[in-house]
Structure 1
Amino acid sequence: MAATVPAPAPATSTTVAPGARAGVRGSPWLLFARRRLGRFVVSLWVLVTTAFLMIQLVPGDPVRASLGLSAPAELVEARRQALGLDDPVWVQYGHYLGGLFTGDFGMSMGSDLPVSQVIGDRLPATLELAVLAFAVVVVVAIPVGVLSAVLTRGGRRRGGELAFTSVSVLLAAVPEFLVAVGLVALFAVRLGWFPVAGGDGASAYVLPVVAMAVGPAAVLARIVRVEMLSVLGADFIRTARAKRLPARAVYLRHALPNALTAALTLGGLMFTSMVAGTVLVENVFAWPGLGSTIVSSILEKDYPLVRGIVLVYGIAVLLVNLTVDVLLALIDPRSTIRES
């Protein structure tokens, strides 16, 4: 009799469901957030370490440079001990990091006040100026860019396109410093419409805000126009028009959100440059902010204050870049999947 061969056991499927695989790897949003926060932490550490080394790499004795060559040796030594500069570098670095976690940026050599107090007194004026200027840029540049694209799409109105391009290039090419000086000479000195300097009263904001907003608004308007023209030629816009949707719905609901992706990225970079650009504008208008403070602290060789202000500017740039990345991911969630 032939031996009976047992039937093979049914094969067990090893296929993993897409949802299970995604659960193992993690959601795209989780991976995106982890990656962005990791970059932020590493960039912050590099910034903090570089700011610490600022005083260490200064040629000579920073305390002697701050107090002057005629300062008594006893005063120089006492100031060095008070600032902790006579400790080993690694001890100073540890104290420096510990102080940052508690909001202690050290003591100013020039005023003997805590650096955090000086920055806290001056930072609101700088933020007010930068935020107001950025708001003007957005309010002016986006409508102007969209309107120019709508009016000149398909090669229409060549004269209007030439005028827009020429004016925007000219305004973008003029440095903020020259714009500020020209505004002061015309509207403050000659016409007397606005104050020459200071930050008291609503009228004092007009000239500094305009000086900071002119160039970025021209650049952003050109970017918005180019992106809007590209979107208006896309297939989904032609489909929307074929469905006889109202022009307002086509432009605002379908075209504008797609055109603002690149504009948002550029806008974030502009804001960081505008915060840094307050240094020149504040000095032209004697604005009581961080920009004028860092210039005076450099001239006075007040290195702890310079280091603290550099840290504030750097952290502002990192936070704005992180915010822009998150906003772009919210507008276009596919970007988180592409990066996963």
Structure 2
Amino acid sequence: MRAMTDNAWARFAARRLLRLLLSIWVLLTAAFLMIHLIPGDPVRAALGVTAPAELVNARREQLGLNDPLWTQYGHYLADLFSGRLGVSTISGLPVSQVIADRYPATLELAVYAFLVAVALSVPLGLTMAVLTRTGRRRRLELGFTSTSVFLGTVPEFLVGAFLVYVFGVRLGLAPIAGWAGPDSYVLPVLALAIGPAAVLARITRVETLAVLEADFIRTARAKRLPDRRLYLRHALPNSLTATVTVAGLLLGGLVAATVLVENVFAWPGLGSTIVSSILAKDYPVVQAIVLVYGLGVLLVNLVVDVGLALLDPRSTIRES
């Protein structure tokens, strides 16, 4: 039995590693081609429309943009594996320095929003499942479902604009732009967390309702276990599989959602940087930020798969 289990884990690890490597290759290739398919000349954009043609050609030659496409692709991969992400065509700074300066602010927003979403959704979903099980409190169920569906479909930047108007402009309770201390996190984190929290709460409720009808819960009720032990120790852990899956996917989505939210709140992260770089045609910075976002999503998906395999050893993730 031990050997079978070990082999299952080995097959799972090999399969996920192969899928991860293939996904990374597709991401790197797509990021490379994206820059070459975008209309416009980044060198001309950086030097200005009045720059002499000789200067533009010299700069293109220096950057290797006059080489054949396959040669550029080989140099691109070699630079990436060597840790060289290029130089910004606008600021002249190494792209790695731009990423290092801006990425922590984006990661903070995404992680804080994820923690807030989980902290709100799991207790709320569990409570709603307990209150509305067996068809009780229909109005409460309808109100919860309608509200969660609505909040889950509203784009994060619209939520952010609403929070800015109500709590920043009208009430003056929190800063509305930039980083000015701990209070500055409140509105952007809420803007990112409200939608995912609504989705997770609805999924937690549905999964908990299914678990509450299981035979082992009926047995626990027959033993007259206290409600706290029944719900927290028996029902909740068995209802978190789908929640963990969706939560992991939402974490990857939260990192991407910071692009628009950061621009709403003028947050000094990668989101605002990529927008300004696109407008300025600073393609090396755009390319690197796309890679950072893509790799973040791939790593989150990997962690989710491993977490599900650990939570449920019988999962088809390991056995398929």
User: What CA distance in whole angstroms lies between the structure 1 residues aligned with 2:300 and 2:231?
Assistant: 28
- 2:34 is equivalent to residue 54 of structure 1: yes
Maintained 8 Å contact 2:217/2:235: yes
User: Which residue in the other structure is 2:297 paired with?
Assistant: 317
User: What CA distance in whole angstroms lies between the structure 1 residues aligned with 2:249 and 2:131?
Assistant: 28
- 2:156 is equivalent to residue 176 of structure 1: yes
Structure 1 window deviating more from structure 2 (82-91 vs 123-132): it is 82-91
Residue aligned with 2:239, SS: helix
Residues 39, 205 of structure 1: alpha-carbon distance in 2 compared, 3 angstrom cutoff: same
Q: Name which of 293, 296, 308 aligns with 1:328.
A: 308
User: What CA distance in whole angstroms lies between the structure 1 residues aligned with 2:92 and 2:317?
Assistant: 52
C-alpha deviation, 1:202, in angstroms? 0.3
C-alpha deviation, 1:337, in angstroms? 7.5
- 2:184 is equivalent to residue 204 of structure 1: yes
Maintained 8 Å contact 1:28/1:337: no
C-alpha deviation, 1:189, in angstroms? 1.4
Q: Name which of 86, 92, 96 aligns with 2:66.
A: 86
Q: Could you list the runs of 5+ residues in structure 2 that have no partner in the other structure? A: none
Q: Deviations over 1:77-111 (max 9, x none)?
A: 23212322122222222221121122211111111
Residue aligned with 1:168, SS: helix
Structure 1 window deviating more from structure 2 (78-87 vs 30-39): it is 78-87
Maintained 8 Å contact 1:28/1:336: no
- 2:288 is equivalent to residue 308 of structure 1: yes
Maintained 8 Å contact 2:309/2:318: no
TM-score by length of 2: 0.95
User: What CA distance in whole angstroms lies between the structure 2 residues aligned with 1:102 and 1:194?
Assistant: 43
User: Which residue in the other structure is 2:92 paired with?
Assistant: 112
- Map 1:184-203 onto structure 2 (within 5 A): 184-203=164-183
C-alpha deviation, 1:166, in angstroms? 2.4
User: Which residue in the other structure is 2:10 paired with?
Assistant: 30
Residues 81, 321 of structure 1: alpha-carbon distance in 2 compared, 3 angstrom cutoff: same
Structure 1 window deviating more from structure 2 (72-81 vs 252-261): it is 72-81
User: Which residue in the other structure is 2:258 paired with?
Assistant: 278
Maintained 8 Å contact 2:12/2:318: no
Maintained 8 Å contact 1:55/1:62: no
Q: Deviations over 1:99-140 (max 9, x none)?
A: 112221111111111111101100000000000001000000
C-alpha deviation, 1:142, in angstroms? 0.3
Residues 332, 167 of structure 1: alpha-carbon distance in 2 compared, 3 angstrom cutoff: same
User: What CA distance in whole angstroms lies between the structure 2 residues aligned with 1:48 and 1:92?
Assistant: 13
Maintained 8 Å contact 2:178/2:267: yes
- Map 1:230-309 onto structure 2 (within 5 A): 230-309=210-289
Structure 1 window deviating more from structure 2 (125-134 vs 46-55): it is 46-55
User: Which residue in the other structure is 1:77 paired with?
Assistant: 57
C-alpha deviation, 1:336, in angstroms? 5.4
User: What CA distance in whole angstroms lies between the structure 2 residues aligned with 1:50 and 1:85?
Assistant: 17
User: What CA distance in whole angstroms lies between the structure 2 residues aligned with 1:222 and 1:67?
Assistant: 52
Amino acid at match of 2:287: R
Structure 1 window deviating more from structure 2 (76-85 vs 121-130): it is 76-85
Q: What root-mean-square deviation, in Å, do the aligned CA atoms of Structure 1 and Structure 2 show?
A: 1.7
> How many residues are paired up?
320
Structure 1 window deviating more from structure 2 (96-105 vs 206-215): it is 96-105
Maintained 8 Å contact 2:11/2:318: no
Maintained 8 Å contact 1:83/1:106: no
User: Which residue in the other structure is 1:224 paired with?
Assistant: 204
Residue aligned with 1:334, SS: coil
C-alpha deviation, 1:61, in angstroms? 3.1
User: Which residue in the other structure is 2:103 paired with?
Assistant: 123
Q: Deviations over 1:125-173 (max 9, x none)?
A: 0000000001000000000000000111111222221221222122223
Larger Cα Rg: Structure 1 or Structure 2? Answer: 1
